[in-house]
Amino acid sequence: MSEDYNAVHAKRFEESLKWITPLADKAERILELGGQSIFTDMLNELWPGKLVAHYGGDLSEGFRLEAPRELPMDLILAMEIVEHLHDRQTDEVSTQWMASGVSRFLSSCALALRDGGHLFLTTPNPCSITAIHHALHLQPPMIYIPHTREYPPYQIDEMLRGAGFAIVRRETIDVWRNAISDQAHENITRFIQAAGYPQELRGEDTFILSHKDWSESK
């Protein structure tokens, strides 16, 4: 992982630690999903021996942890993953986006967690001030164009509930602000307020803490 990436994501790392620390302190087994980064090193330093597995690669088809000692998890970290997941491969030609890769991924997380275990998920917010700024400049309304798909906060909520999770806490936070000036941010904020559009959930990155509760989906 490059130093530039670490510098750009430093605030996201800092905010993420605030969210997970109370849970990680109590957890016995923590699973981090996705590519390893300096955040992985932080986890191992702060909670030595608790990060019992790391799973990367293509997660669109879900994942399984085979070793008995790795199950069940107390805390799963899915940071900046779902925006990279494509739809699952099938023999049929699909003409619409199904988010099937994200759904399979979230179901795998639920299976790997103990009852009441927590999933901490972060993902870019296409409803943010920054994404609106991009759209107004005739660019794709996304935080980062190469992403497969970015999901609004309420859509992530629905997919989590469908996989058997209950939402504990959800916020959107400006963790980058490297693509929009303070003045442009203020101008768009004023427009949203004056036009009567919803003002909440306009931060760049969605942070969601949920816990496994299969009664939610039954």
pLDDT tens sequence across 118-147: 999 999 999 999 999 999 999 999 999 999
Q: What's the pLDDT score for residue 152?
A: 98
Q: What's the pLDDT score for residue 218?
A: 42
| CA–CA distance, 7 with 157 (Å, rounded to integer) | 29
* pLDDT tens string 45-54: 999 999 986 6
| CA–CA distance, 73 with 16 (Å, rounded to integer) | 19
Task: Identify the band that residue 73 occupies on the pLDDT scale cut at 50, 70 and 90.
Answer: very high
Mean pLDDT of 13-26: 98
Using alpha carbons, select from 150, 132, 149 the residue that is nearest to residue 141: 132
Q: What's the pLDDT score for residue 71?
A: 72
Q: What's the pLDDT score for residue 17?
A: 98
Q: What's the pLDDT score for residue 217?
A: 45
Mean pLDDT for the chain?
91
* pLDDT tens string 79-96: 999 999 999 887 676 789
Instruction: Please say if the pLDDT value at position 35 is more than 90.
Output: no
CATH code of the domain covering residue 94: 3.40.50.150
β-partners of residue 207 are: 122, 171
Q: Which domain holds residue 75?
A: 3-217
Pairing outcome for strands 113-124 and 73-79? parallel
Task: Identify the band that residue 207 occupies on the pLDDT scale cut at 50, 70 and 90.
Answer: very high
Task: Identify the band that residue 10 occupies on the pLDDT scale cut at 50, 70 and 90.
Answer: very high
Q: What's the pLDDT score for residue 70?
A: 58
Q: Are 143 and 8 in contact (CB under 8 A)?
A: no
Mean pLDDT of 11-15: 97
* pLDDT tens string 52-71: 866 777 899 998 876 645 57
Q: What's the pLDDT score for residue 216?
A: 46
- In the block, which residue shows the tokens 């991009």? 134
Give pTM, 2 decimals.
0.93
Mean pLDDT of 159-185: 95
**Total domain count, the chain:** 1
Using alpha carbons, select from 62, 107, 60, 47 the residue that is nearest to residue 87: 60
Q: What's the pLDDT score for residue 2?
A: 61
DSSP assigned state of 196: T
